[in-house]
Structure 1
Amino acid sequence: MILKLYKYSIILFTGIIILSGCKKDLGNYDYNDINTLTAVINLPKDVNAIFGKVLSIKPELKFSLDPGFDESKYTFEWSYIGSNGTGGIKMFVLANTRNLEQVVSIVAGTYTAYYTVTDKASGVAYKKEFRIKVTNEINEGWMLMCDVNGQARVDMLSLNSSGGFDVVNDLLATTGSELKLAGKPVMIYNYATGLLIGPDKISFGIYLGTDQTTTKIEPNTFKWTPTMNLSYEMFGNTPAGFYADVIQQRSGGAAYMIGKESAYFYERTQNIYFSAPISYIAAEQKEFKVAPFVAGDDLIVSNAHAIFYDKTNRRFVKHVGSSSTCTTLPEPADAQKKFSFSTGMDLLYMSWVPYNGGEVFSVLKDPNGTKRFLARFNSASLVQSYYDEITATDFANAEFYAVSPALGYLIYSVGGKVYEYDMSLKTTKLVVDLGNKKISLIQFYDFKSTTKYKDSNNLMVAFYDPALPEGTNGGINTYTVPPVMGDLVLAKSFSGFGKVKSLTYRER
């Protein structure tokens, strides 16, 4: 009993001492004001920004104990909340500077953003919330693969709010893209691929090609990572030095590619990726070298197919559906036969056009002579409609070719001149004379959305002036092509970019 009382007495005594000590300590602390952020000036609640242009924000900061504002006493962070690419969101840091002075590379949209200032001495962070509304003036328009002093450069005719087009020289540099093109220009193409394999989670392909490499870029920001290279879309061994000469969409998410004289096939819904070449005849168990042309209607879903040209055996071949190989074309009955599908000729040009219900037009050359021939046939039924020698003016020197999709005229260029050839009457008409300027491309562009874009029947003539400075000496004229060999009517004219070698329109 005594031990228990003693124990309790000790506890009580200790508690009294502790309480007494606490009471004596009251009022012994010194309380000092901390340096607080009292005002942020010149940072509005809503900030407007333009993609690809410099966003400049220079806020004025007021602190309670730092009237002169010594910048070295603080750290800074500009951040915003955006998509993580997988359906969620995350915080992105734009900069760690007092002022924001940066080319905007954020996808168009409205974002919650923060400006955070941290006092190094106290560790207290002050966060100012605002909104950034990003608009993209480089959103839609003609993307041009250009030659500038023998090197590839991407320029753009960007559609503006008034319906006109603004010239953007060196699109990749202007938008701060990480991609630096090397080599000579080859091609540019865009289409809805469906979600591609790889870490970049891109479902729309804008492909840029030189004679050294082919790669895609992010379709809204034009950003680039090494895993966007075409080799990441190809299964198996990629040939050394591989690049694409042609990428062309078929119906839906399917596409063809030609590179190193081999043809490849891609079909996203069936998970068929570019792998073993389809330029192979199974019945013969032989590969063949393919010419750089794909002839097929990309709007046909049923009986989807394409025509290729076998350079090795000088003949037309066909790819159907999702087959892993091509087939030869059966010869027509003698009564319907105008030429042999095994032509024995070299192919100079081939294209599918909707003329006459949809036909393949091809320009063939006698390998042992100078004569050129025009062959036409339906790619689905293989019915032949035309075969004859081309007797057009100076056709042996033709450099570029096109076929009017509505009228079936064969268009070709020599130097700075464009000619129109009527195969029925075998007459030729000079329709464009650009004098000392040189033509670098002629084309009837095939828009995907034919209801929105009405210029598929207009002839595009790209040219350059050798007397003007490289990089801004290129131009494009578009012409309406009237029936009965009428004079072409100039529709639009653009200039101020490089020598156009390939073009594609970024539709929205």
Structure 2
Amino acid sequence: MRINPIILFLFVFSFCSCFDDKGNYDYHEVAEITIENIPEVVEVLGNSDHIVVNPKVVSSLEGEIGKENANFEFSYKIEKKLGGVLVSGQHWVDLNPSGSLDLDTLAAFAADTYIAWFSVTDKRSGVQTSKTFDIKVSSPTYEGWMVLCDEGEEERVRMDMISVISAERVIPAYDLLTSLGLPELKHAKGIGFYPNRYANPADLIYVMSAEGTYMLDRETFKTDESLEIGNVDFIIPPVNEYVVYYTAVNGTSIAGALANLCVTDAGNAYAQVRDYSGPAFEYPINTSERGKTPEYKVAPYVGVSMARPGNGRAALLYDTDNKRFVGWKYGYVADAMQILTPVADTEDGLFSFKTGMELVYMESTRYSGGLVYSILQDAEGKRCIYGINMSNNGFVQEAKYENLNAPDFDKATIFAFHSLFPYMFYAVGNKVYLHNLGTNTTYPMNTIALGENETVTMLKFNLYRQCSLNDLNNQSDEFMARQYELMVGSYNTAAPDNNGGKLGFYPVDGVNNSVTKRAEYSGFAKIKDVVYRERR
């Protein structure tokens, strides 16, 4: 058979071309890439910490890949772990526009859990290898000690915080509310905190000052003029008076408090009975008839039982005009819960509820099932202490302490009473004293060592309010013990800026009448109040 010369020529040319192509083509084995040194979870504080990752990338052919290797490119992307828009309509964000191997970027995200992808791409083959990890962003306002301060000579209201990110990580954060909508206020008074399981409202947090009281969003701490307490909690907002004291009366329900009571700087008191007469404060209750014009002024204190739910259904206040104790009780007649009544004396009482003295201080405790301590001062400047038990539904006279062996007690303006031991702490200048009420003995707390330019601005025990709702039973013993530590706020008057404040935590030794310092944080303004932001 004769072969066509043209076909033969094309066959030979094609065979040679294939032969040449095989000799010129550079065949490469595809490398296996492994990624190491990336944690499963990176925990950061939003808008404070940086997200830092330093991965180790290894090629089965080339060994460890360094950041200078031009054959590879790197990428970090992040999105919400449970889905949803992240920012500006995007579901994910490129954390690493520069394409560097290592990541170091500000955690500028809201508190949430995110999932991140780290990917390595071999630019020669286009093969990509990736590894995921979680990024848990916590808010500095999520949990921890809220520290209310006065800043500078003008005493600008400022909220700092000791943020508890985890059991191992506790970080101070400063001046949180300025960027969150709190108006410019002067003269901080205190923090109102009311834990609540009811759907609306949820936990309430109030910042009280001499120029207004504002509710904070429980998750973000954002606030504005619409959240002034008169706009959200009053039927008829008070005029030219501001709430300076706010507390809750525990009920039998674990869902929330029986009632909330508050006192204004004008000396008026208000009651908000949550499960009966309505969800708002009504008329002033420092009167003998509901809706009547106030008949006297009350001191800025409300004494309640701080013991278990249902242990106390009453509140104790003090009439500063008539120098007597007055009481509020829960009942089943709405009118009765919107007035205060003078507390009646008993024949075998330790003292008269109509004291005739000035009230210096009042504090609610868990001691003896719900004891309220009151410090009173007579016309000669001599001071005594009354203990009134608020358990059940009455005002039981339990203790009277006179002729106290307590140096400079008559000069003190800052006090704190313990809930486990019969101890009163008081401060004068830079000195703190422990007075044992049982033995009438005073001990200087030399372990609280403050400099000559420092002065005590606050003493307090932060009793957890959610203990009353049985919501903190799953916490560690160490955490629960924190509420019985003495908190000492102090300020260095020689500080070159407005950040001379310190907050120390001191466990109390009930056997040896002493305290020891567990921790101390600095950088605050003048501390006025501290309340732990509890989480369930």
Task: Return the TM-score normalized by structure 2.
Answer: 0.68
Task: Return the TM-score normalized by structure 1.
Answer: 0.72
Return 224-233 or 456-465, whichever deviates more: 224-233
2:383 match: 372
Provide the C-alpha distance between the structure 1 equivalents of 2:450 and 2:235, rounded to a whole number of angstroms: 48
Contact 2:183/2:224, CA 8 A, preserved across alignment: no
Aligned CA RMSD, in angstroms, stands at: 3.6
1:179 match: 182
Contact 1:207/1:214, CA 8 A, preserved across alignment: yes
SS of residue in 2 equivalent to 1:94: coil
User: In the alignment, residue 506 of structure 1 is paired with which amino acid?
Assistant: R
Kindly report which structure 2 residues correspond to 1:94-133, keeping only aligned pairs within 5 A, or say none.
Answer: 94=88, 104=108, 106-109=110-113
Provide the C-alpha distance between the structure 2 equivalents of 1:386 and 1:151, rounded to a whole number of angstroms: 40
1:351 match: 363
Kindly report which structure 2 residues correspond to 1:151-162, keeping only aligned pairs within 5 A, or say none.
Answer: 151-162=156-167
1:41 match: none
2:283 match: 276
Contact 2:138/2:165, CA 8 A, preserved across alignment: no
Contact 1:480/1:489, CA 8 A, preserved across alignment: yes
Post-superposition CA distance 1:253-290 (Å, at most 9, x none): 33211113111122333333112122223499763211
Post-superposition CA distance 1:195-229 (Å, at most 9, x none): 69xxxx75222211221111112121222243211
1:144 match: 147
Deviation of 1:53 after TM superposition, in Å, equals: 4.7
Post-superposition CA distance 1:415-444 (Å, at most 9, x none): 010111223432221114423210000011
1:240 match: 239
1:170 match: 175
SS of residue in 1 equivalent to 2:432: strand
1:188 match: 191
Change (3 A) 1:92 1:476: closer
Contact 1:202/1:218, CA 8 A, preserved across alignment: no
Return 257-266 or 420-429, whichever deviates more: 420-429
Work out whether 1:291 is the aligned partner of 2:296: no
Post-superposition CA distance 1:333-369 (Å, at most 9, x none): 1xx2211000011100112222233322111001x21
Contact 1:208/1:214, CA 8 A, preserved across alignment: yes
User: In the alignment, residue 312 of structure 1 is paired with which amino acid?
Assistant: D
Unpaired runs of at least 5, structure 2: 1-40, 52-78, 96-104, 117-131, 251-255, 332-336
Contact 1:291/1:309, CA 8 A, preserved across alignment: yes
Provide the C-alpha distance between the structure 1 equivalents of 2:330 and 2:418, rounded to a whole number of angstroms: 27
Deviation of 1:82 after TM superposition, in Å, equals: 12
Change (3 A) 1:188 1:94: farther
Work out whether 1:486 is the aligned partner of 2:513: yes
Provide the C-alpha distance between the structure 2 equivalents of 1:133 and 1:399, rounded to a whole number of angstroms: 47
User: In the alignment, residue 214 of structure 2 is paired with which amino acid?
Assistant: T
Provide the C-alpha distance between the structure 2 equivalents of 1:47 and 1:341, rounded to a whole number of angstroms: 59
Contact 1:189/1:503, CA 8 A, preserved across alignment: no
Contact 2:249/2:312, CA 8 A, preserved across alignment: no
Kindly report which structure 2 residues correspond to 1:21-40, keeping only aligned pairs within 5 A, or say none.
Answer: none
Change (3 A) 1:350 1:276: same
1:500 to 520, 527, 536: 527
Contact 2:231/2:237, CA 8 A, preserved across alignment: no
User: In the alignment, residue 256 of structure 1 is paired with which amino acid?
Assistant: L
Contact 1:110/1:132, CA 8 A, preserved across alignment: yes
Provide the C-alpha distance between the structure 2 equivalents of 1:188 and 1:284, rounded to a whole number of angstroms: 28
Change (3 A) 1:94 1:282: same
Deviation of 1:447 after TM superposition, in Å, equals: 1.1
User: In the alignment, residue 443 of structure 1 is paired with which amino acid?
Assistant: K
Work out whether 1:259 is the aligned partner of 2:268: no
1:458 to 473, 485, 492: 485
Contact 1:317/1:329, CA 8 A, preserved across alignment: yes
Provide the C-alpha distance between the structure 1 equivalents of 2:493 and 2:50, rounded to a whole number of angstroms: 37
Contact 1:478/1:491, CA 8 A, preserved across alignment: yes
Change (3 A) 1:135 1:389: same
Provide the C-alpha distance between the structure 1 equivalents of 2:43 and 2:373, rounded to a whole number of angstroms: 50
Change (3 A) 1:485 1:343: farther
2:249 match: 250
Provide the C-alpha distance between the structure 2 equivalents of 1:131 and 1:478, rounded to a whole number of angstroms: 36
Deviation of 1:401 after TM superposition, in Å, equals: 0.8
Contact 1:479/1:492, CA 8 A, preserved across alignment: yes
2:24 match: none
Provide the C-alpha distance between the structure 2 equivalents of 1:397 and 1:184, rounded to a whole number of angstroms: 22
SS of residue in 2 equivalent to 1:171: coil
Q: How many residues align?
A: 413
Unpaired runs of at least 5, structure 1: 1-45, 57-79, 84-88, 113-129
1:213 match: 212
Provide the C-alpha distance between the structure 2 equivalents of 1:291 and 1:398, rounded to a whole number of angstroms: 18
